[in-house]
Structure 1
């Protein structure tokens, strides 16, 4: 008798999954059969009912279901993304939050470790190539996950490599490295290890500049442009940001590698040279760690697909050089937060494993998000936006502009150089003068990530400093030189390929209403004056 009901029982075990799929489809009958004059209202009713069903049946965690309006309302033409997000967070903050959750999913399934090991093993295991491999890995990961997480993940890998190199002929660890607890409490006194850790921190800081969601200062540029000049008016998008900053990121990472290689060679002069045996040990430890991971699980594959899909959606939302997919939604403006929340919602909906006998956990659970999400960073970003708004509303921005009137006698490239230097060393943004706003804002935002000198400057710096035997002066020496290099490369980039990419050769029409006294000028025409600029 029970066998007769087995198929039914199997179906009932997955009742939440069935409701998750069927309810949104069935409920579309409400708006599709409505009168044209009530269509928008009925789509709103559809959104409410879908959320209600998900809340009641707990198809996804309550907090995640609460984010569904960010997806449904813009796509159904009821309200724009920014209008919806302002009830939670600003649209830019919501995009950042969703990106952080996606990064947590990557960490949760262990995909980042697999990526790291493959990159390091692929680059090479000689002393110099090993450092380059660590830097490429940290740089790439910090583009997508937090700089802190990328650096923290690299530290145990550096330790594993260090153990392999410092083991005896039979592969056993020396007495210095036997006790893991001692290793954690008392960092190894190894100059090469210090430079490897420093390379990871610097590459993580630089990698955060590669994509617009890589670091909070990047989002400030997008948010400010959208607020001051209108959403989508400025030619700054996920795609154009990458087009400008990815080449710059690669150049700066290469420069940092060359600098650290030279400094390490000087610091370790007279020390024994690396042997072939040491390289083989490194290869063995990397191969062993890859074997421990085994084949890619279904969990990792699904997260990887969703991750790639999110990047594609962000990149082609409004890439400028072609018509983006967001332009097809004409009833309401669709912002970057909508595809981000959509992918996050799928993380909590799709099963980790496929089974015909019992339900599976989702790719990500809310408990993991609550535990790992850096809420402080989100609050920090919100606080920064609040202070920016207060600066404008209180008249402080006009006061500072009047005090900086002497800058009008400097040429534009000189002003830009001053701003990049000030931002790098003091981490403060400067007001744009009568030039294309992107010209100065982009430089300032990117330079905020070039904080290489002090352990307290960034979380990656603090992590590697605490796990090393470096002195503060050691980090300052390398960091100061790298600051100078990155200032030069950034100013070169904004004055070369940044010009055609963002239209910096003339004052843009989209910024005209905000600065009506600014006649057409060139960001690079240093002989051009700006009547009435200040």
Structure 2
């Protein structure tokens, strides 16, 4: 028994030793294999990760817009699921549209149609009520003003006026630059910013090319300049030409771009943001009105101050103003010969237009008639809005012939009768090709969002949440609002911004017991003051593309206009604004009244 037990123990020990030897031998055999295969496995893993990363980057680069359209609506759903209220549903639509606007995941006009789908679906507004916002009086007025502006552009009346004003102001470098930006400012008061900029670009370019041909200045710096090599590589990377613009080129083109923003605030017709304020204010507060004549009385002095300050700043920054001994001041001093050359260039461009045409005379007379009708309507307080008068001028533009040959029928001499029918002052083919129809949908979307935020109570909810800001001194609050809108408009369309924030500011004003215009008016003007980037302001992009200017140069040069405009807007409304709008000094009783339209749309059957 004892021997059997010892035998078993010996067997166990032998078995254990045999297993140990096998494992030890396997280990000795596997260590070299592991050492040999680990780097290969690791490198293969790294290769797979790198390949996947390259695949993912390529996929996202090609299809990020489609992914954004799919993911963002799902990511925002908790806003509704956590608390299914009308204001949260409207907030969902607002954020969705805002993200699509800022990322351009969908074309902006297509994004602008989303409220027509989402508002009826989510029970915020009916289909008819949503679509009415796209055909509002303000939108019709804006479209008609665009048609009038395109007619002025079609007959070259704007060029004739611009060149005549420049020749009257003077032809020294400083006077010439001042004349060009003054004309740009004036034109941008009446027509969209991008149209005003594209109007002035060929004039500015022709003037500078004429000066360059005569040896007075250079549009671009010599390519042998070492500093230009660095710029060349950066611009080649972006797909641009390698030319580096001279300081005088940047001064002229940036000045025109900057004052285009400033001039657009001079009248209600100058920008879609102005129309957005008018629509939102008048629809939020029934019976209240923003009048174009009052608007101009307040904004034109502001516009002139900001334009003059911008011109002085750019002259100092680029052309050595107040620095008499600087290289720039010496280089850009034209002298008498240079002034004669400039005068010759301007006269040549003016003569190329030929004598004033019958079409130009008729368009100018219709513009005067339209302005008189606007003034009389405002002065007489007739109750009519601007759209009927604008559309009356538009109908006349399509009805009147472009020349006066038809008068020969009154002479009675058949030999003088015209053989062909004269075209109208403008044709629909031209309007259909040139009119920026996307603005129609963009404005309509903003108006629909404003109407939806009012009906759902979203703007009131956000305004009440921001009411804690009422603890700040009012001037500090106003400064922060102007600063915020001026910063964000550098990156997002100003019309999109103003349509989002104005209903919220209206409710904030009510909650802190100040006149709604005190917050809505300055923020609207601030939304037009984009001077640092090419993203939110198309006219900055036009200047950058035409003159080959880097975004970095625009950002630095725009510092002065940003500071001037921020301070003037912030200081003007509490002071000069009280003179033009004396009612803003007190909180109005009508601002506290919630109209029946605010809440009666929420529990109706939706189409």
d(CA) in 1 for partners of 2:594 and 2:574? 23
Q: If each structure's helix is expressed as a fraction of its own residues, which one has the higher value?
A: 2
Map 1:266-345 onto structure 2 (within 5 A): 269-271=326-328, 272-276=331-335, 277-319=337-379, 323-324=380-381, 326-327=382-383, 334-345=384-395
The Cα shift of 1:265 comes to 3.1
Paired residue for 1:420? 482
After TM superposition, give the deviation of residue 497 of structure 1 in Å: 1.8
Following the alignment from structure 1 to structure 2, what is the Cα–Cα distance between the partners of residues 216 and 117? Answer: 27
> Paired residue for 2:572?
493
Shift of 1:388: 2.0
- Give unmatched runs, 5+ long, in structure 1: 1-82, 177-183, 328-333, 516-534
Give, in whole Å, the separation in 2 of the partners of 1:174 and 1:504: 51
Gap change, CA 1:229 and 1:223, over 3 Å in 2: same
The residue that corresponds to 2:150 in the other structure is 104
Summarize the Cα distance change of 1:187–1:200 in structure 2 as closer, same or farther, 3 Å threshold: farther
Residues 327-372 of structure 1: CA distance to partner in whole angstroms, max 9, x if unpaired?
Answer: 5xxxxxx221000100100000011011132331110100010011
Q: Counterparts of 1:16-415 in structure 2 under 5 Å?
A: 86=132, 89-168=135-214, 189-231=245-287, 233-234=288-289, 236-265=290-319, 269-271=326-328, 272-276=331-335, 277-319=337-379, 323-324=380-381, 326-327=382-383, 334-355=384-405, 356=408, 357-358=417-418, 359-415=421-477
Larger Rg: 2
Separation in 2, partners of 1:170, 1:484 = 33
Within a 5 Å distance, the mapping from 1:426-505 to structure 2 comes to: 426-427=488-489, 428=497, 429=501, 431-432=505-506, 433=509, 434-502=513-581, 503-505=583-585
Secondary structure, aligned partner of 1:496? helix
Change (3 A) 1:139 1:170: closer
Alpha-carbon distance between aligned partners in 1 of 2:202 and 2:279, rounded to the nearest angstrom: 36
The one-character-per-residue Cα deviations of 1:175-195 (angstroms, maximum 9, x if unpaired) are 99xxxxxxx967663220111
Mark the runs of 5 or more structure 2 residues left unpaired by the alignment: 1-128, 223-239, 409-416, 490-496, 596-607
**Secondary structure in 1 matching 2:327:** coil
Q: Determine if contact 2:221/2:246 at 8 Å carries over to the other structure.
A: no
- The answer (yes or no) to whether the contact 1:166–1:174 under 8 Å persists in 2 is no
Kindly state the Cα deviation for residue 88 of structure 1 after the two structures are TM-superposed.
Answer: 7.2
Paired residues of 1:207 and 1:214 also in contact (CA < 8 A): yes
Q: CA RMSD in A?
A: 2.7
How far apart are the structure 2 equivalents of 1:187 and 1:175? 7
Q: How has the CA–CA distance of structure 1 residues 442 and 128 changed in structure 2, closer, same or farther, with 3 Å as cutoff?
A: same
| 1:430-478 CA distance string (max 9 Å, x none) | 5131211111111011111101110222111010011123221211112
Aligned counterparts of 1:168 and 1:174: Cα–Cα separation in 2: 15
CA separation of 1:99 and 1:187: change in aligned 2, threshold 3 A: farther
Instruction: For 2:352 and 2:220, locate their aligned partners in 1 and report how far apart those are by CA, in whole Å.
Output: 23
Q: Note if contact 1:138-1:154 (Cα within 8 Å) is conserved in structure 2.
A: yes
Corresponding residue pairs, total: 413
TM-score of the two chains, using structure 1 as the length reference: 0.73
The answer on whether the counterparts of 1:228 and 1:514 sit within 8 Å (CA) in structure 2 is no
